[in-house]
Amino acid sequence: MQFFKQIKSILAVSLVLLFMAAPAIAGQPKYVFYFIGDGLGAAQRQFSEFFLQDQLKNPNSQLVMDTFEVAGINTTYCADTLITDSAAAATALASGVKTNKGVIGKDVNGNNVKTLVEEARDHGMKTGLITTTRLTHATPAAFASHNISRNNENEIADDFLNSGVDFFAGGGIRHFIPASMKIENADALGKTIKSKRKDEKDLVKGFEGKGYSTFIGMKGAKAFKSTDFSKQDKVFAAFTYTHMPYEVERMNQYKNVPSIADMTRAGIDVLAQGDKGFFLMIEGGRIDHAAHANDPSGVIWDTIAFDDAIKTAYEFFQNHKDQTLIVVVGDHETGGMGLGMDSMGYKLNMAALNDVHVSVEDTLNDGAGQYKGDKAAYLSYLSKNFGLSNLSDAEAASLNKAMVSADAGETLGYYKLNPAALTAAHILSTRANINWTTTIHTATMIPMSATGAYAGRFGGYKDNTQIAKAMAQTLGFTL
């Protein structure tokens, strides 16, 4: 009898050890790509695909994200308002928790919540954050920081230094350098690098002290393009003073600046060296900014660039099919983008966007193409750079009224846009037969798509919190 008791005891211990050694889920993904299109609603995805088809003269062309076998739709509301902001939405996508507008990585009571990136790190996986916005902007911040306000970007930068994340790439060097630092014409767009900090902390040196290879400004952007990242252990890259350029301008004016696909490829090369796999979050952040400015071409080109990054991940997936999961979501819809209006009936005119070379926000609203009182010069600029030649009488009258309004110091929309810039965006949109209901976010549900190991868990009608929870369940994490 004692013999059988000993056998049962040995078997029990063996089973416990077996379960401890085994992965939490048989066949769970080793490599995870979490793509977040900021402001990427159904209209933005569809319109960009239509434009791609028109450019390629192939009605069967698709965005890579629209070819995945699993699809769904997600609600986006946050704890204190039905129309979310990116901070609350990203916290939901990163931690599975509803929180208040503007809050990063905390619940409604101010308690820190565990994120997928933190769980991945604690499970021995390599981790990375990539964005076309400032690195300290709401979406990447919610994966590796905890703060009562998304606006506390210096504190968020401090959190990043201590986060253990292995790969960072994006913009926003201003929150990582000492208050006294100022270098003329040094960022990747040729703009001045200066600090937004109130102290003399040099977080770039801090990252270097922890073994990170750093790629800063124009010099860093050029080096980034020629670096073999399979030989890099940890990377911190911040190329621009604030956000990365819109894709429509990156591809026309700033070709030395890495694309979101370039950053994704580098991230894969660094993180794939880990024995336990990786978790990589990639944000197409400027889709949202373009939609805030009601900029149809800005939306299209940044969505296509985002899809090129997804294509890069999909190429990796092809060689690791049983071990890779790719999930593509949005955090909310921006602009209330509608495809079709009475002015042109039942059609869209994609050709109206062919001659657009600049963005509404960075150039017409704030940059070299801003209206500054010379009406003839502004109209000439729009004709050469924004596709608005051969103005109709109604279009000319609308622009003239907007320029008069700008001369009077008036602004339009929630974010106080230059009337001349926003009116130009609306004329271009009308020519393409699209409409905008707002310059802010909407509560519209947004599409999701996924492929790879356990992709089926992400399909169907879900709240954004359920996406994070499904990810945690799939990876054996506890949020």
Confidence at residue 380, expressed as pLDDT on a 0 to 100 scale? 97
Three-state secondary-structure class, residue 449: strand
- Domain shared by 50 and 188, yes or no: yes
Give kind and range of the element (H or E) at residue 157. Answer: helix 153-161
In a domain, 349, yes or no: yes
In a domain, 438, yes or no: no
Q: What is the mean pLDDT of residues 146-175?
A: 98
Contact 287, 37 (CB under 8 A): yes
In a domain, 320, yes or no: yes
- Domain shared by 329 and 344, yes or no: no
Write phi, then psi, for 448 (nearest 5 degrees).
-130, 145
In a domain, 439, yes or no: no
Q: What is the mean pLDDT of residues 393-415?
A: 97
Q: How would you list the strands of the sheet with 278-284, edge to edge?
A: 213-216, 235-238, 167-171, 126-134, 278-284, 31-37, 324-330, 446-452, 70-75, 460-463
- Domain shared by 243 and 347, yes or no: no
- Domain shared by 277 and 403, yes or no: no
Residues 441-470 have pLDDT tens digits of 999 999 999 999 999 999 999 999 999 999
- Domain shared by 427 and 449, yes or no: no
In a domain, 24, yes or no: no
- Domain shared by 47 and 113, yes or no: yes
d(C-alpha 184, C-alpha 187), whole Å: 8
- Domain shared by 255 and 376, yes or no: no
- Domain shared by 312 and 418, yes or no: no
Confidence at residue 281, expressed as pLDDT on a 0 to 100 scale? 99
d(C-alpha 159, C-alpha 106), whole Å: 14
CATH code, domain carrying 125: 3.40.720.10
In terms of Cα–Cα distance, which of 447, 451, 450, 452 is closest to 330?
447
Q: What is the mean pLDDT of residues 147-175?
A: 98
- Cα atoms in the Cβ-side hemisphere of radius 13 Å centred on 88: 21
In a domain, 249, yes or no: yes
- Domain shared by 302 and 323, yes or no: yes
Question: Alpha-carbon torsion 465, 471, 472, 474, what sign?
Answer: positive
In a domain, 2, yes or no: no
What percent of the chain stands above pLDDT 90? Answer: 94
- Domain shared by 319 and 347, yes or no: no
Domain total of the chain? 2
- Domain shared by 120 and 268, yes or no: yes
Identify residue 407 by its one-letter amino acid code. D
Confidence at residue 26, expressed as pLDDT on a 0 to 100 scale? 55
- pLDDT of residue 7 exceeding 80: no
Three-state secondary-structure class, residue 278: strand
Residues 377-396 have pLDDT tens digits of 999 999 999 999 999 999 99
Q: Report CA-CA distances (Å) from 458 to 3, 122, 329, 449, 453.
A: 50, 23, 10, 8, 11
- pLDDT of residue 12 exceeding 60: no
- Domain shared by 313 and 358, yes or no: no
- pLDDT of residue 92 exceeding 50: yes
Identify residue 443 by its one-letter amino acid code. A
- pLDDT of residue 4 exceeding 50: no
d(C-alpha 323, C-alpha 320), whole Å: 5
**Structural domain harbouring 103:** 31-337+445-475
In a domain, 7, yes or no: no
Write phi, then psi, for 45 (nearest 5 degrees).
-65, -45
